[in-house]
Structure 1
Amino acid sequence: MGDIPEKFLLSRFLVFTVFSQLSSYAAVVEGGDTLSLGASITGNQTIISENGTFELGFFSPNGTTNWYIGIWYANITEKTIVWVANRENPARNRSGVLKLSKEGDLELFDAEGASLWSADTSNKASRAVILDSGNLVMLSDENKFETVWQSFDYPVGTLLPGMRFGGQQKLVSWKSSLDPAPGLFSYQSDPSGVKQLVLIWNSSVQYWGSGTWDGNAFSQIPEMRNKVFYNISVENTNSALYVTYTSMGIKNALSRFVLVNSGGTQLYGLLDDAKWSL
């Protein structure tokens, strides 16, 4: 048969090399709500919570070339982002790869393989699941029901029903409607030690406080007593204040509490016509 041409061998080698690299980021995920060990998503691939409410994947704000891993409502025409992993470190020009390694680490890479973000956990995970609450959880390799990391512990600019918020956590506004990088405004527990929630500008200037909790409402938010649309539960521990809100009224109604980039807080509910109402 004679010698095989060198150019042919080189071309086969290059094809094999590219295929092998792509296979290392293979989409083990075929729909579903879970990333298993060794699985990854890239491009338009996503995972969707069991009841179809929330979706996790890559997004790029309109008019930009930056790519982020985020969580949004799956069945709403207007893409509404509730969480962003790499808000300070976007992938440029095209999406990267989010992978749960065989070692149990969840990490985001850009298209060239550089690390952009990773979940902060010291315990090995067996899988990562997007829940119907909008929470991305990593479950323990040893105890399949133990959470070793969750996105609810690292909020961005949005609180969702059932999310426990307080202590050292902060909501930090987007820099602009097209840029999820941290903006100038934060919503957090009072750093002075007063058991209240405050709004702070530029990490230093407090411009609003909720007042202290009296068991039914914060003193500066008396309308909280009219529990028509939402209910607030408060844990007032010795060291910190924690708040959780749940939706009331319309059954299965979706809602979100947002710190907007102008410094205000807004509570939205989704109406039957799939439009957000302030």
Structure 2
Amino acid sequence: MGFFLLENTLDVRRYVGIWYKEDAQTVVWVANRDKPVLDSTGVVTVAEDGNFKVLNKDGTVYFTTSTGSMLWQSFDNPTDTFLPGMKMGTDMKLTSWKSATDPGPGSFQFQPEQDSTRYSILNRPATYLWKSAKPSTNSFDDNHMSLNAFSFLSNITTQKQYRRLPNGTISSETVSVVDPNSRLVMGHSGKLQYLSWSEVTNQWDLEWEEPKDNCSIYKFSNQGRDMGPQSCEYTRLLVWETEPNNLRGEGTHNISFRFSEGMFSGTQIVAQIACSMHFS
């Protein structure tokens, strides 16, 4: 932890943050993100009242916790980054930076939905940009979170693996399911990204992101017109078991399409395809 300056800025704006030892350019938490110290002075202190504070030479407060008798930790008060060991509670939010050179609260916010089974990105204050898929194998929605990202948010770091030995006994071992050198970031461009650190290249590898295209954007429409099922750049595979009374033919037919959630219901899309497809 310490004071840092952002590159490519003309004025002096000093922030207190936390960054990686291996990568000092990647700041994962900022204390005074919306109130930088505007000169070369500044001090970080724990005041007599027990609160963590950022002050300048005149004693002006640029950041303070307000804990009373409760302990405070940055893990419970993230900025734009979720780290291993955190757990995404219903009140936790990740708020993007304004830009690559301004860590102030930006336009995009990642948060869990109230039922805690889905997550969403808001274009603040209240416009949905993306919603994760409902936890159902029958969903038409393909905006599923990656298993690693979901385990990461749930703080599920390990799991048991079992195997049968040649003598017939069962052996178990605990394996890691979350890379300890990974992070989830709500980017200033509106993309939620899950990244892991590569020891080989000494850089961050992108493993998963949303929204990945226009079809992932909630209620996306093309120039104000509702999307049809063939309007997206690429398709996902739906396995549809046909019924003789609905379509000619028997067995299973593969139909490819993608759509933006909120524009059509699954029933409407099936009806459109049923009317337009002919099987021999």
Q: Check the 8 A contact 1:164/1:244 in 2, yes or no.
A: yes
Name the structure 1 match of 2:132. Answer: 210
Q: Which runs of 5+ in 2 are unaligned?
A: 159-174, 207-280
Structure 1 residue 277 corresponds to structure 2 residue 205 = yes
Residues 95, 105 of structure 2: 8 Å contact kept: yes
Deviation at 1:162, TM superposition (A): 1.7
Q: Which residue in 1 is equivalent to 2:52?
A: 106
- Cα deviation for residue 59 of structure 1 reads 0.7
Decide which of 8, 14, 33 is 1:87's aligned counterpart.
Answer: 33
CA separation of 1:122 and 1:223: change in aligned 2, threshold 3 A: closer
SS of structure 2 residue aligned to 1:261: coil
Separation (CA, whole Å) in 2 of partners of 1:231 and 1:223: 6
Deviations 1:12-37 (A, max 9, x none): xxxxxxxxxxxxxxxxxxxxxxxxxx
Which structure has the bigger radius of gyration? 2
Aligned to 2:94: 171
- Pick aligned residue for 1:243 from 135, 143, 154: 154
CA RMSD of aligned residues (A): 3.0
Deviation digits for residues 97-147 of structure 1 (CA, Å, limit 9, x no counterpart): 1101244221110232201111121127xxxxxxxxxxxxxxxxxxxxxxx
Paired residue for 1:53? Answer: none
Counterpart contact for 1:98–1:106, Cα < 8 Å:
yes
> How far apart are the structure 2 equivalents of 1:201 and 1:72?
26
**Structure 1 residue aligned with 2:123, among 184, 201, 215?**
201
Q: Provide the secondary structure at the position in 2 that maps to 1:164.
A: coil
* 1:46-57 paired onto structure 2 within 5 Å: 56-57=1-2
Secondary structure of the residue aligned to 2:40 is coil
Matching residue within 57, 63, 77 for 1:154:
77
Deviation, 1:183, is 0.6
Q: Deviations over 1:160-189 (max 9, x none)?
A: 112111312211100000100011111012
Q: Which residue does the alignment assign to 2:108?
A: 185
TM value normalised by structure 2: 0.58
Helix, strand or coil for the counterpart of 1:92?
A: coil
How many residue pairs get aligned? The number is: 185
- Find 1:232's aligned residue among 147, 150, 154: 150
Output the TM-score relative to the length of structure 1: 0.59
Q: Which consecutive unaligned segments of at least 5 residues does structure 1 have? A: 1-55, 125-147, 235-241
Percentage of pairs with the same residue: 32
Of 51, 63, 66, the match for 2:13: 66
Asked whether the equivalents of residues 253 and 271 of structure 1 are also in contact (C-alpha less than 8 Å), the reply is: no
Look up the match of 1:138: none
